[in-house]
C-alpha cells in the first residue's frame, strides 16, 4: 500500500487530456522539487498532464502512463508515473545499454525535423532512456543511418526512479543551458524544441517490449514498431 495514492492523484483531471502536437511547459518559479522519484511534490498538482498514451501497433489499451513537465529560469523538470504489474528492473546494469532491455521511459530531443537534411547532413537528435530505478542510457543518433554515439551524455542532468507495488515513477531535472549547448534553444529560439515521449513495456516472460507512445498514428508510417521516426516528435513550448 506504500504510496498507492500516487497514480490516482496524478490521474485526476487527466481523462480527456489530448496531445495536440504541442505541450506547453508551464513556468513554476520557486516551486519545491525533491529529486526522489516519487513525484508527489505539490507543484505536480499545478502542472498539465499528458495521459493519453497509446499502443500504436496494437489493438489494446495502453497501461496508464502520465507525463508532466514544468520549468523555471534555470531548469526543465519532468515526471512520469506508470502503471505496471510486471515490472522488469535491475538493481545494477553492467553498462548504459542494459537499460534498453528493462522497463523504461524514453525522451527524444531535436532542434529540427530529423528526416530533413540541413546544410547537406541529417541533424542529430538526442535520447534519454530511464528505467524504473533511474538508471540512464543517453546517446545521440542520426536518423536513417542510425549513427549512434553512446559516449554522448547530457550535461548535469539528474534523475531518480522509484518502484511501488504495481507502478513506478521517474523524475528528472535538466538544465536549460544543456539544451542551449545542443542548439535546441538559441538566441533566435528560446521557447520551443521538438520532443518525443515513449515507454518500453517489457514482460518477465522474455517477449519483445510493447512500445507505448504519446502519438497515435505511427502504424500508418511503419507496420514494424519503431519510434525513431520523424512522426514520433511533437513540440515542447516553454511558457513565459
How do the domains of the chain map onto residue ranges? 5-238
The predicted structure's pLDDT at residue 119: 86
**pLDDT tens figures, 134-186:** 999 999 999 877 789 999 999 899 999 999 999 999 999 999 999 999 999 99
52-53-56-57 Cα dihedral, nearest 10 degrees: -130
The single residue listed with the C-alpha cell 518559479 is: 29
Give the separation between CA 62 and CA 199, rounded to whole angstroms: 10
Compute CA distances 55 → 21, 25, 52, 168, 201, whole Å. 17, 24, 10, 19, 10
Average pLDDT on 14-29 reads 75
Band (pLDDT 50/70/90 cuts) for residue 19 is low
Question: What local confidence, expressed as pLDDT, does residue 167 receive?
Answer: 97
pLDDT at 8: 43
What would the grid cell of residue 79 be? 515526471
pLDDT mean over 39-53: 96
* Residue 106 · residue 227 · CB < 8 Å: yes
The DSSP bridge pattern shows strands 22-27 and 65-71 to be parallel
Cell of 197: 515521449
How many other CB atoms are found less than 10 A from the CB of residue 43? 18
C-alpha 145/C-alpha 124 separation (Å) is: 11
Band of residue 73 on the pLDDT scale cut at 50, 70, 90: very high
Among residues of the chain, what percentage have pLDDT more than 70? 92
Per residue in 102-146, pLDDT (tens digit) is 999 999 999 999 999 988 889 999 999 999 999 999 999 998 777
Name the phi and psi angles at 117, rounded to 5: -60, 145
Residue 13 pLDDT greater than 60, yes or no = no
- List the one residue out of 79, 77, 68, 67 whose CA is nearest residue 31: 77
CATH fold for the domain made of 5-238: Immunoglobulin-like (2.60.40)
The pLDDT score that the predictor gives to residue 20 is 62
Predicted local confidence at residue 88, as pLDDT: 96
Q: Return the percent helix, strand and coil in the chain, to nearest 5.
A: 15, 35, 50
Query: What does the DSSP assignment read for 151-217?
Result: T---SS-EEEEEE-SSEEEEEEEEEHHHHHHTTSS-SS-SSEEEEEEEEEE--TT-PPPEEEES-SG
User: Taking 60 as the threshold, does the pLDDT of residue 232 lie above it?
Assistant: yes
CA–CA separation, 1 and 166 (whole Å): 10
Amino acid at each position: 500500500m506504500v504510496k498507492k495514492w500516487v497514480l490516482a492523484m496524478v490521474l485526476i483531471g487527466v481523462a480527456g487530456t489530448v496531445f495536440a502536437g504541442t505541450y506547453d511547459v508551464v513556468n513554476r518559479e520557486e516551486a519545491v522539487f525533491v529529486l526522489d522519484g516519487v513525484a508527489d511534490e505539490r507543484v505536480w498538482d499545478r502542472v498539465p498532464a499528458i495521459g493519453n498514451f497509446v499502443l500504436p501497433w496494437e489493438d489494446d489499451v495502453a497501461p496508464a502512463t502520465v507525463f508532466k513537465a514544468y520549468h523555471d529560469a534555470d531548469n526543465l523538470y519532468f515526471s512520469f508515473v506508470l502503471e505496471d504489474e510486471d515490472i522488469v528492473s535491475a538493481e545494477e546494469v553492467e553498462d548504459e545499454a542494459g537499460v534498453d532491455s528493462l522497463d523504461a521511459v524514453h525522451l527524444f530531443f531535436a532542434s529540427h525535423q530529423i528526416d530533413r537534411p540541413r546544410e547537406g547532413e541529417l541533424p542529430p537528435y538526442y535520447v534519454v532512456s530511464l528505467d524504473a530505478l533511474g538508471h540512464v542510457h543517453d546517446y545521440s543518433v542520426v536518423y536513417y543511418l542510425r549513427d549512434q554515439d553512446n559516449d554522448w551524455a547530457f550535461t548535469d542532468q539528474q534523475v531518480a526512479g522509484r518502484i511501488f507495488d504495481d507502478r513506478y515513477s521517474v523524475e528528472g531535472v535538466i538544465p536549460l543551458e544543456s539544451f542551449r549547448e545542443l542548439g535546441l534553444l538559441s538566441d533566435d529560439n528560446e521557447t520551443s524544441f521538438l520532443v518525443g515521449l515513449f515507454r518500453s513495456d517489457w514482460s518477465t516472460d522474455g517477449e519483445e517490449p510493447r512500445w507505448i507512445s504519446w502519438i497515435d498514428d505511427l502504424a500508418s508510417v511503419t507496420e514494424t514498431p519503431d519510434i525513431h521516426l520523424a512522426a514520433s516528435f511533437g513540440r515542447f513550448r516553454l511558457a513565459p
